[in-house]
Amino acid sequence: MKRRMRRSKLMAEINITPLTDVVLVLLIVFMIATPFIYQSSMTVQLPQASASEETSRDVIITINAQGEVFLDDARIDLDTLKYRLRAMMRSKPNTSVILNGDKNVRYDSVIQVMDVLTKAGVKNPGLGIELKK
């Protein structure tokens, strides 16, 4: 009789170890993939170069192929850009500025934005590039 009692007992515990493993793997995958997704929602074809120096990016200015200027993915005109950058430079003088220009943008548009950067007090703005593979 005792044998039948032992066999008929149901296991009421749930093993959550496989579930925990799957959740942790997904967490790691999302942590690795997020910086690649976040880079920018603007579609700009950057010019290519063989080497670059990594910098900490605080402010990103983008010029698309039509010559429109964006400050951190928000369209902005040059006068407003100058005032915002000037305010940023006053509060954080060591702010780094990266200028991403589409490879098909008119040179005049890049010079106008560089002039605004100089007037706003930005020292040594960086130019965004795409590394050659």
∠ CA 5-8-10, nearest 5°, is 125
Average pLDDT for residues 56-80, to the nearest whole number?
84
Say if pTM beats, i.e. exceeds, 0.75: no
**pLDDT for the residue numbered 65:** 86
Do 101 and 121 sit in the same domain of this protein?
A: yes
Please provide the distance, in angstroms rounded to a whole number, between the alpha carbons at the two ends of the chain. 74
pLDDT tens string 94-131? 888 888 888 888 888 888 999 998 888 888 888 887 76
Name the DSSP class of 59. E
Query: Is 87 within a domain?
Result: yes
Residue type, 23: V
Query: Is 43 within a domain?
Result: no
**pLDDT for the residue numbered 55:** 47
Do 53 and 112 sit in the same domain of this protein?
A: yes
Highest mean pLDDT among 14-18, 19-23, 85-89: 19-23
Do 29 and 58 sit in the same domain of this protein?
A: no
Do 27 and 67 sit in the same domain of this protein?
A: no
The count of domains in the chain is 2
| Domain of 14, in residue numbers | 2-38
Do 62 and 98 sit in the same domain of this protein?
A: yes
**pLDDT for the residue numbered 21:** 93
Do 119 and 101 sit in the same domain of this protein?
A: yes
**pLDDT for the residue numbered 14:** 81
Share of the chain above pLDDT 70, in %: 72
Give the CATH number for residue 87: 3.30.420.270
Do 23 and 83 sit in the same domain of this protein?
A: no
Do 27 and 53 sit in the same domain of this protein?
A: no
Do 9 and 69 sit in the same domain of this protein?
A: no
Average pLDDT, the chain: 79
How far is the CA of 27 from the CAs of 52, 65, 74, 75, in angstroms?
31, 37, 30, 33
**pLDDT for the residue numbered 32:** 82
Do 27 and 74 sit in the same domain of this protein?
A: no
Q: What pLDDT band is residue 24 in, cutting at 50, 70 and 90? A: very high
**pLDDT for the residue numbered 30:** 85
Do 56 and 13 sit in the same domain of this protein?
A: no
